[in-house]
Amino acid sequence: MSLKRIHAVFLALCLLGSSAMAQNFGIDELRQRAEAGDAEAQNNLAVLYHTGQGVPVDLNEAIRWYNAAAEQGRANAQLNLGVLYNFGMGVPQDYAEAARWFRMAADQGELMAQISLAALYITGQGVPIDYIEAAKYYTMAAEQGDPGAQMTMAEMYLSGQGVAQDYAESARFYRMAADRGEVAAQFSLAIMHRDGMGVEQDLEAAAELYRMAADQGHIAAMFSIASMYETGQGVPLDLAESYRWYKAAASQGHPGSQNNLALMYEAGEGVAQSLTHAYMWMDLASKLADGPEQENYEMNRDQIEVRLSSEDLVKAKGMSDRCLETRYAECD
């Protein structure tokens, strides 16, 4: 997650909390509580000045009250100060100072601070680049259930960056994120189950994960589950279902799926035979691919072309052009 997104999400969360407190006590009473040393009130009053809720925007006042709450150990105030220093809002931009405040909040369990500090260790802003420290704080956030941090730790264990390479740990973190609906984690974990990396090889589990990702629109997962239905690996052989998934991916511009869809039309497998449709999809694949794949698809297209009458060839070329011009809205 980018720091800009962290900032936006964080401010949204603070705004809700501050508005509720302001409604309960009113601005004047909130200020009285802050002046009396109530750290929660100090932070919430700072957020109101920061965002202009009920008071004019005043970053100087916001910083004053954030500091008051942060110095009392209020973790969300420490996080807020870290955000201000990170972006240079009301204070000179200072990544080292941002890291200092993020660390105080992170060590108290503040999720966004853990992610923010880890990101600074990755980029080397305000702190030396240190993948070990980054992994430490991403792990903290991952164990709190943040799917982005879970994904990051899965990738770090997969590559051995900041931690000892460990496919089983990578799979564990991918599983955490996959169970929270992270489509990239579902796809990556499917590959690990398919290949037996960090887990026992299990094609049925791989197929289920591919399907979950495909249902969320992951194009490579659509291609993968189509291939499994085509070969009967991990799922019952089902050419109609294979056709359905190849077409879903092909209609989003995936050349490999377009090639396989064309071959199904050519052979009449999973769909009624249609050489014009076979030519159309193979022509699209050859236009979108590059390198050796493009050459293969062009060869496949040319082999279909010789089987078409002149009239059908003109029709098939028109279908291909219309399909591409309408961004796959008119391909039938």
Residue range 1-144 in CATH 3.40.50.300: no
Mean pLDDT, all residues of the chain: 93
The domain segmentation of the chain, as residue ranges, is 1-144, 246-332
Cα dihedral: 258, 260, 263, 267 (round 10): -130
pLDDT surpassing 60 at residue 12: no
Q: Are 180 and 145 in contact (CB under 8 A)?
A: yes
pTM score: 0.86
Exposed, middle or buried by CB within 10 Å (0-12, 13-18, 19+), for 313?
Answer: middle
Residues 6+ apart with CB under 8 A from 20: none
Summarize pLDDT for 237-273 with one digit per residue, the tens: 999 999 999 999 999 999 999 999 999 999 999 999 9
Instruction: For the chain, state the CA radius of gyration.
Output: 27
Residue 326: CB atoms within 10 Å:
10
- Alpha-carbon distance of 100 to 209, in angstroms, equals 40
Summarize pLDDT for 74-111 with one digit per residue, the tens: 999 999 999 999 999 999 999 999 999 999 999 999 99
